[in-house]
């Protein structure tokens, strides 16, 4: 798996890793399962794609730091896109 991003608004970078496990959101902001991986995700790369060796999207970078790199699995993103109301916490945006 490869993470692709522009950390801190800098140059395009890629980092490689593998899926380690699925687990709870480390920030406790979401009830969905997250994908923990070993591809370093630098600050500023949230929202960047994680792709497999064939270039297929497998997740979107969510959080990183302290040796934990977390992505939202593409399967979860598909579920949210099909029915966003199931995943809303009801809080409005400012």
Report helix, strand or coil for 8.
Answer: helix
Query: How confident is the model over 75-89, as pLDDT tens digits?
Result: 988 988 888 877 766
Contact at 8 Å (CB) between 83 and 36?
no
**Domain locations in the chain as residue ranges:** 2-82
pLDDT at 28: 77
pLDDT bin (cut points 50, 70, 90) of residue 92 is: low
More confident residue, 21 or 7: 21
Tokens of 20: 């380690």
Query: How confident is the model over 21-76, as pLDDT tens digits?
Result: 999 888 777 778 899 999 888 888 888 999 999 999 999 998 887 777 999 999 98
CA 74, CA 62: separation in Å to the nearest integer? 12
R_g (Cα) of the chain, nearest Å = 13
CA angle 37–41–44, rounded 5-degree value: 150
| Residue position matching structure tokens 């949210």 | 80
Q: Which fold has domain 2-82?
A: Thrombin, subunit H (2.40.10)
pTM of the model: 0.79
| DSSP per position, 37-92 | ESS---TT-TT-EEE-TTS-EEEEEEEEETTEEEEEEHHHHHHHHH-GGGG--SPP
């Amino acid at each position: 798996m490869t993470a692709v991003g522009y950390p801190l608004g800098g140059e395009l970078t890629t980092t490689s890793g593998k899926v380690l496990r699925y687990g709870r959101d480390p920030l406790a902001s979401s009830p969905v399962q997250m994908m923990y991986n070993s591809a370093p995700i630098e600050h500023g790369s949230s929202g960047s794609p994680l792709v497999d060796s064939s270039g297929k999207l497998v997740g979107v970078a969510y959080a990183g730091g302290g040796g934990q790199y977390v992505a939202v699995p593409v399967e979860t993103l598909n579920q949210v896109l099909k029915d966003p109301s199931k995943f809303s916490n009801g809080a409005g945006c400012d």
